[in-house]
Chain A
Amino acid sequence: MILDPGMINPLMAGTPGTLLPQPCVLVIFGAAGDLSWRKLLPAVYNLNVDGSLPSNFAVVGFGIGSQGDPDQWIRNRAKEGITRFSRQAIEDDSWADFERSLFYVEGSFSDLKAYEILKTRLDAIDAQFGVPGSRVFYLSIPPTAVPQAVEHLKTAGMVCDPEDKKSFSRVIVEKPIGRDLQSAREIIEAVGRSFAEPQTYRIDHYLGKETVQNLLVLRFANSIFEPLWNQKYIDHVQITVAEEEGLTQYDPTTGEITGSRIGYYENVGALRDMVQNHMLQILCMIAMEPPWSIAPDDIRDAKLGVLRSLRPLTADTIDKSVVRAQYIDGDIHGHGFPSYRQEVRDDFRRRKQPVPPDSTTESFIAMRLFIDNWRWAGVPFYLRTGKRLPKRSSEVAIQFKDVPQVLFNAKPDVPLEPTVLSLRVQPEEGLSLRLASKMPGPKLRIYPVKMEFNYSNSFGGVSPEAYERLILDVMAGDATLFMRRDAVEAAWKFVMPILETWDNAHARYLPEYRAGTWGPLEADRLIESDGRQWRTL
């Protein structure tokens, strides 16, 4: 957006590197929901405590489900969520300030009149807080509700022209964007009828994590890595997103179900939930060519180049390159957990809905893929993600090629451990480099050592949550960490053959793995057939 010269503020000059969040009202659709309660409202609270928000700022929740006074209801709910999930403890003064700028408008996403009420309320809040009509709409709602929501926003006159010099309208669209290429395009087009592409921010919270952002810095701010970052020196790459949580939470003492995402997950599965978005986005950051600049579109062009270079999977290759599986009962941290299918049955019974036939939704996926370009020709990228794995751990591991089998690596029966650069995304963000080193002593013994860099040890403090960074970026108009339309479509194009092959297979059973293990044997065979193995996390 080019500012009207009359709107230029000389007092803002010298703002360092990052853009400043601009005055606005953040409107959260689905503010009564789980994401808002656990992540969004605590994120905004933390931003406020840290002094990152502008003085002209307010939050308005929109949706159904409030009880009594809507403003008081959302404040109570926000306070509970912040108390439980915020990285910073709630304090009276900070809460009092946050509370006075938090409001709720009760209304259905499908009811145009509710949007008119919302607009009237927003106009009043603008006047109260000195906001020049700028709004960020965070659509934390099911994908099916998105088209109507954006249409009503436009009809109710709440979407500014993208060229407007005084105020802005921006929309944040949560994943999943559709459940296949066709539905993704429908949602993208529906949003596009109300919001121009520069006004649209498709969020993937993984991209807000420090380590993921550090990938670009690591690669392009250090001269030692980029010359090695190619098929000549890299043997393979492993991307793992392991979750110990399943889809259902149980009270540890009573065994009662306390929460469940089965309703969402049953129609989604690991491929749509994790691979199509988070994991392919991380893959792009690892594999992209150096962008022309760090401008958002230059980085997004470079990422798109990776997605377009992915070797398409076909019905013939999918069986050999992709493994899906489901967890059965097992044990994590000394507690027993039921199978995925049992969780589905329990959830449907709890909701008093007819229990479906045994589910074939995958809770685990492992795959091998290739990027057919000059840099990555022949280098396999192994991806694996799953629920109810032994621990919560996400990392990207770059395994370098072995040294020649001479000198220190001359014994084929005792090969040297390969050099591995490991980037931990969670839980402890950081990176490590495994190197071969001589053990002290007269004998020549080589032992792998790890050079560790840990964010919290080196920089101190706790890193902001990904949502904090991303919400600030939207307020500042920086789309670097958000997915562009063409990237979303390219990611769907890549996974569609897998979905179609699975649909056509009509499988009644999937490979199984015990809860608390690292996945099915089939996943091990997938990588072992290449003479490699999954890393132990």
Chain B
Amino acid sequence: MSSLAVESQCPVMVPLNCVESELTRQIQAAMGTGDAPVQRARLSNLIVYCEGDEQAAHVNQCVPVLTSLHPARIIFLIAEPGDSDADLVAEVCVSALGSNRQACAEQVTVRAFGRSVDRLPFAVREILVGDLPTNLWWASQQPPALAGPLIFDLAERVEQVIYDSLGWTDPTRGVAATASWIAKFENESSLGPARVRVASDLNWRRLKAWRRLLAQALAPSSAPGALESITELSVEHGPHGVTQAWLLVSWLAARLGWKVKTSKVQPGIEIDWYFQSSSGQVRVAIRRLAEGSPSISRVRLTCAIEDRATCLELRPDRSNRLSAIPVGMGAAPRTISVPELAPGELIGRQLSDRDRDPIFRQSMEVAQALAQSLLH
């Protein structure tokens, strides 16, 4: 994690047309009596969309870490319930980065009530800094594919939409709609052909270590025959972790060419799919545990390594480590470090990662097929 300290000034409420002048005033104030120049550190614009104060407060806690890792002009949009169509008002706050206070990050918060939420895209247009990449962090728990026209308006000029499928209230419907939405968003760019748009799911990023360890543990060079001989896969997850487990299964199925045949669901308990692989049938179960963190807690694979039947168990081991244990093979556990990423850090890293990931898209297509097999 970054070692930069972040020190914020008190936010000041101003009309929208005074945002820039207030930012300049606060930056000059940050210089204090010293004569050293203060640099506006901003690698990008980051629009953050939240629903309600509680969510905004939660997201706001991520900002110091996020800013220290990826300084950005943060434009916080908070949609509040109500039937007001009052003018939008902004709160402006500058934070000094680092001990020498020579770099500053900027945050603008815009609150909208009721019908005035529709006016947020207009507010955003006038606050964006030109010539910088623009990202939208869709912090709402509503899947972006099901969010209606607001997200399309907010995402009009953005290069990246970041969402988090963790905790979606109706994961099956969300997953079923998302692959098509991603394709539409990425391919129907209003930015022109020269600029690439990308949609990123933080849950996919969280899976990185699981995917990496699975790839290493099943590598043909160290586990000959394992990939082709998988017959069973079970993934256990804590409450609200089902989409993460779903994504992992979809990735494996996409990479190994498994085709879904049938499915069965016990709501809130277990989802089973039967796949056809090149060498036979594969049974996959996603199992919800009654308690635990909203993430995958264990993956168990049945396969054969060098024609010897075995189980491979992957699970978190102590803090910040993930282990793969070949059961009954007499081999040492393989472990990798999984640095614990605070939510702000996760976002900060995603902001710098603007390449389209074809593997994610392929996995989402499989995820969509799995969702449709449950809905039909």
Which of A's residues lie within 8 Å of B, judged by CB?
6-14, 16-17, 23, 48-51, 53-56, 93-94, 96-97, 127-132, 166-167, 452, 454, 456-462
Contacts and interface: CB of A to CB of B under 8 A. Distances in A.
Contacts of A14: 357-360
Instruction: Identify the 5 closest CB pairs spanning chains A and B, nearest first.
Output: A14-B359, A55-B334, A11-B215, A51-B337, A461-B2
Contacts of B369: none
Contacts of A8: 220
B43 interface: yes
A460 B216 contact: no
Contacts of B4: 456, 460-461
B267 to A, nearest CB: 31
Given A51-B209, A51-B338, A93 B220 contact: no
A54 B339 contact: no
30 contacts: A6-B220, A8-B220, A10-B255, A11-B211, A11-B215, A11-B255, A12-B215, A14-B357, A14-B358, A23-B221, A23-B222, A50-B339, A53-B336, A53-B337, A55-B324, A55-B336, A56-B222, A94-B320, A97-B321, A97-B335, A97-B337, A128-B331, A129-B332, A130-B222, A130-B334, A452-B39, A457-B39, A457-B97, A458-B71, A459-B70
A504 B230 CA distance: 73
Contacts of B129: none
B127 to A, nearest CB: 21
A51 B337 CA distance: 4
Given A14-B358, A93-B319, A458-B43, A9 B220 contact: yes
B41 interface: yes
A461 B69 contact: yes
Contacts of A49: 337, 339
Contact of B335 (A55, A127, A458): A55
A93 B322 CA distance: 12
Most buried by A among B334, B352, B358: B334
A94 B41 CA distance: 33
Interface string B190-231: 000000000000000000010101111111111110010000
Given A49-B339, A97-B321, A460 B218 contact: no
Interface string B260-301: 000000000000000000000000000000000000000000
B95 interface: no
A14 B219 CA distance: 15
A405 B266 CA distance: 83
Nearest to A98: B337
B312 to A, nearest CB: 11
A461 B2 CA distance: 4
B68 interface: yes
Contacts of B2: 460-462
Given A11-B219, A462-B3, 20 more contacts: A9-B219, A10-B255, A11-B227, A12-B215, A14-B360, A48-B337, A49-B337, A51-B337, A94-B320, A96-B318, A128-B331, A130-B222, A130-B223, A130-B332, A167-B221, A454-B39, A460-B69, A460-B70, A461-B1, A461-B69
B219 A23 contact: yes
Interface string B333-376: 01111110000000010001001011110000000000000000
Contacts of A97: 318, 321, 335, 337
B214 A51 contact: no
Most buried by A among B98, B215, B331: B215
B216 A23 contact: yes
Contacts of B209: 51
A9 B222 CA distance: 11
Given A13-B359, A14-B357, A131 B43 contact: no
B365 to A, nearest CB: 14
A460 B336 contact: no
B103 interface: yes
Given A13-B255, A51-B338, A93-B319, A460 B68 contact: yes
A132 B1 contact: no
Nearest to A449: B37
B146 interface: no
Nearest to B208: A51
Most buried by B among A8, A51, A53, A462: A51
Nearest to A129: B332
B331 A130 contact: yes
A344 B319 CA distance: 49
Nearest to B256: A10
Nearest to B320: A93
B102 interface: yes
Contacts of B221: 7, 9, 23, 132, 166-167
Contacts of B211: 11
Contacts of A462: 2-3
B2 to A, nearest CB: 4
A408 to B, nearest CB: 23
Interface string B5-18: 00000000000000
Nearest to B98: A457
A458 B71 CA distance: 7
Contacts of A50: 337, 339
B41 A458 contact: yes
B227 A131 contact: no
Nearest to B363: A14
Contact of B41 (A10, A48, A93, A457): A457
A460 B71 contact: yes
A93 B321 contact: yes
Nearest to B361: A14
A53 B339 CA distance: 12
A515 to B, nearest CB: 28
Nearest to B252: A11
Nearest to A58: B332
A395 B339 CA distance: 33
Given A9-B219, A132-B222, A460 B348 contact: yes
A11 B218 contact: yes
Contacts of B213: 55
A14 B212 CA distance: 11
A226 B160 CA distance: 30
Contacts of A166: 221
A68 B332 CA distance: 25
B372 to A, nearest CB: 24
A362 B227 CA distance: 60
B255 to A, nearest CB: 5
A7 B334 contact: no
Interface in B7-55: 39, 41, 43
A97 B218 CA distance: 21
Most buried by A among B41, B209, B335: B335
A54 B211 CA distance: 12
B265 to A, nearest CB: 27
Nearest to B334: A55
Contacts of B339: 49-51
A195 B348 CA distance: 42
A131 B220 contact: no
Most buried by B among A9, A53, A93, A166: A9
Contacts of B39: 452, 454, 457
Contacts of B337: 48-51, 53, 94, 97
Contact of B215 (A9, A53, A130): A9
Contacts of B71: 457-458, 460
Given A7-B221, A166-B221, A457-B102, A56 B3 contact: no
